[in-house]
Structure 1
């Protein structure tokens, strides 16, 4: 397998390499990381098949613009084939899947050989303990450029595990944050398994005003580096070994960032938001507006984009042996909430097969249905159409505001609002998630009834397990807490002395709802409205027997016992 730099520009979309089969070509990208230009896109051909690897950053000792140095070497007679002769250098891929793709398409031994020629920093520092590589990782160029994107940080921290054939897992996450009274508090989310109980999800629960959502907002800001701009003290204890943060919040009052607008970052996948808000369309073609609007269309639009992203990711990463097919997972998970045959996206009635470049032998994927007297045209999206659709063309033609439609026996499935939102969440999370993602979910009980809440947690565990990812949920939901082990439950309590954070002293997993409620919300010390009503009735009816007769057949056993006790019998 050759690795070649031919001084070719990447352009907006890098075309397949013209260097033949079994070659990785590096294409120069002039992306500026604080005056450093180290980024290269790649074109990889293995046995005649194009394999997506993503981009890679290469640092050369005492150089800030790598491609200029490589161009000079070629001008002096170098043939462009790696390793670079007589040069100290290291590299870091932008995605940890870079070497996972190579090891699955070739072998671990071949992936190691490529890592040695590219002088992968994670491999050299963590496994080979190469002093030259270690010295380069202490430079400004490494910190400002090779560790600029979150994907690159993840690749450096955990990339070496690919070569050891070890599972890459998210570690416990320590975070320092400002509580509701601005006091600095510490919390550690326990993701590392200490027993066979599920540890993929941590829950933050407490009364209103205890600062649960505020914590999630600070985690997002720290992940995006906003705390460094404002010199805020909230921060991660250590650089987190996660690849991205995905926010799910359908509250009309939340204020999470909706995108990376205004942030200088080449990796647009480090942060994804799914909620009721979106950026407004600018009056200037091709420009983004600074205005954010609240709209019910946002979940629909994002679900279409995300479903097509599932197809694209399955096509890109399907060669990775550990890859869980996203499109299949969408079908499996959503079918637990309601029955359907397949999902589809709406396209204009004028669209023909050629417009989405659907192969004629698979033309049944396009079909027409009459809905409320109006003919609509759909394209079926399933694991069987992964390689049949031109996703670029399909993205151009889909009517995103219609959302994803589910069909059963050839007819659209009528969904409740909760079922719609459940399906949007599943599709959106799967469309965005990468291995080792962190999901932040704010109060899911606001938009899901209790049965769907339980299905939601079950769905979440399945997806997180498939993609070695974790989640933090801010909630008031007791049924959610009952699905989580006690060391993953963080109870926020406001006191006269400030915020207290505790794990329950009893096992919450499969625990008693009333006991959990009493511990979290202090039910025993809170007078309930029905008790006020009982006392009022007793006060107005001195004859308890008469009161019991009036309410005959309308009281439960507990109330009857309480009234009997008031009488003294």
Structure 2
């Protein structure tokens, strides 16, 4: 399956299918900015000539802060728009984990793997291929700041590759550290894994004013990376909200 980038600067434009391709991943420009870093591309997966899945592909290029502009530049310099991008080190993360299951079902396992190689999928290259160039980019601060900013992308990165090893995706136990009004942290354990049914259900119980709503609000903001959970706020407060590297979505 071909992967193609349409040159342009209209961020609301939905990338179209090439007339010669029934199955393809079409990409286009997006001007979204993640704290001074732009990696977002509009993405549409076309299957049998039809728009099957729309999402965003977060593409981080080595030594570059704005991938969409860089891709336009490469097109101007002679690149034909087809992936893989020649002579360029990059990794990508889709915003929707359904992307992985879709390409396996519609294309087959071998062709699906080739798509991940072409877009240099970060989860696949680091966890299955153990690609040294991909490992280098994934370890860069910009990777956390932009490609992994949103919850859907974090889920895709952490679990999408597991489908190719027939591993199950699950929500693991985690500890939430809520920031109290005096600046201290209060640990709250959430348990989802259980050896037998019924699975654990987590309930917050307490009198009015104790902080139940505040805790849930904090959990969502940390989870989505907004407001009190934004990278800037967390760094200013020197606060780590979870005991795991990725949000537990």
TM norm structure 1: 0.39
Who is 2:106 aligned against?
Answer: 105
Who is 2:186 aligned against?
Answer: 185
Q: Does 1:170 align with 2:177?
A: no
Q: 1:208 to 1:66 in 2, by over 3 A?
A: closer
SS in 2 for 1:125: helix
Aligned partners of 2:123 and 2:161 also within 8 Å: yes
Q: How far is 1:92 from its partner?
A: 0.7
Please give the alpha-carbon distance, in whole angstroms, between the structure 2 residues aligned to 1:41 and 1:138: 24
For residues 176-255 of structure 1, the aligned pairs below 5 Å read 176-178=177-179, 184-199=185-200, 201-223=201-223, 224-226=226-228, 229=233, 231=237, 233=239, 235-238=241-244, 239-242=246-249
Who is 2:116 aligned against?
Answer: 115
- Residues 220-265 of structure 1, C-alpha deviations (whole Å, 9 max, x = no match): 34333415527274722223231xxxxxxxxxxxxxxxxxxxxxxx
- Residues 249-306 of structure 1, C-alpha deviations (whole Å, 9 max, x = no match): xxxxxxxxxxxxxxxxxxxxxxxxxxxxxxxxxxxxxxxxxxxxxxxxxxxxxxxxxx
Q: Does 1:157 align with 2:141?
A: no
For residues 128-527 of structure 1, the aligned pairs below 5 Å read 128-178=129-179, 184-199=185-200, 201-223=201-223, 224-226=226-228, 229=233, 231=237, 233=239, 235-238=241-244, 239-242=246-249
Q: How far is 1:85 from its partner?
A: 1.1
Who is 2:16 aligned against?
Answer: 16
Q: How far is 1:5 from its partner?
A: 1.6
| Higher mean C-alpha displacement, 203-212 vs 111-120 | 203-212
Aligned partners of 1:180 and 1:211 also within 8 Å: no
Please give the alpha-carbon distance, in whole angstroms, between the structure 2 residues aligned to 1:212 and 1:65: 40
Aligned partners of 2:218 and 2:228 also within 8 Å: no
Q: How far is 1:149 from its partner?
A: 1.8
Please give the alpha-carbon distance, in whole angstroms, between the structure 2 residues aligned to 1:66 and 1:178: 35
How many residues align structurally? 241
- Residues 415-437 of structure 1, C-alpha deviations (whole Å, 9 max, x = no match): xxxxxxxxxxxxxxxxxxxxxxx
Please give the alpha-carbon distance, in whole angstroms, between the structure 2 residues aligned to 1:2 and 1:8: 19
SS in 2 for 1:171: coil
Who is 1:3 aligned against?
Answer: 3
Please give the alpha-carbon distance, in whole angstroms, between the structure 2 residues aligned to 1:51 and 1:213: 38
| Higher mean C-alpha displacement, 162-171 vs 229-238 | 229-238
- Residues 542-561 of structure 1, C-alpha deviations (whole Å, 9 max, x = no match): xxxxxxxxxxxxxxxxxxxx
Aligned partners of 2:15 and 2:43 also within 8 Å: no
Please give the alpha-carbon distance, in whole angstroms, between the structure 1 residues aligned to 2:83 and 2:103: 16
What 5-or-longer segments of structure 2 have no aligned partner? none
Q: 1:53 to 1:231 in 2, by over 3 A?
A: same
Q: How far is 1:3 from its partner?
A: 0.8
Aligned partners of 1:180 and 1:209 also within 8 Å: no
SS in 2 for 1:55: strand
Please give the alpha-carbon distance, in whole angstroms, between the structure 2 residues aligned to 1:111 and 1:8: 27
Aligned partners of 2:193 and 2:199 also within 8 Å: no
Q: How far is 1:153 from its partner?
A: 1.7
Q: 1:11 to 1:187 in 2, by over 3 A?
A: closer
Please give the alpha-carbon distance, in whole angstroms, between the structure 2 residues aligned to 1:27 and 1:64: 17
Q: 1:107 to 1:9 in 2, by over 3 A?
A: farther
Please give the alpha-carbon distance, in whole angstroms, between the structure 2 residues aligned to 1:10 and 1:165: 39
- Residues 34-71 of structure 1, C-alpha deviations (whole Å, 9 max, x = no match): 23222111233222222114110111111112233323
Q: 1:90 to 1:206 in 2, by over 3 A?
A: same
- Residues 354-379 of structure 1, C-alpha deviations (whole Å, 9 max, x = no match): xxxxxxxxxxxxxxxxxxxxxxxxxx
When you count strand as a share of all residues, which structure comes out higher?
Answer: 1
Aligned partners of 2:92 and 2:119 also within 8 Å: yes
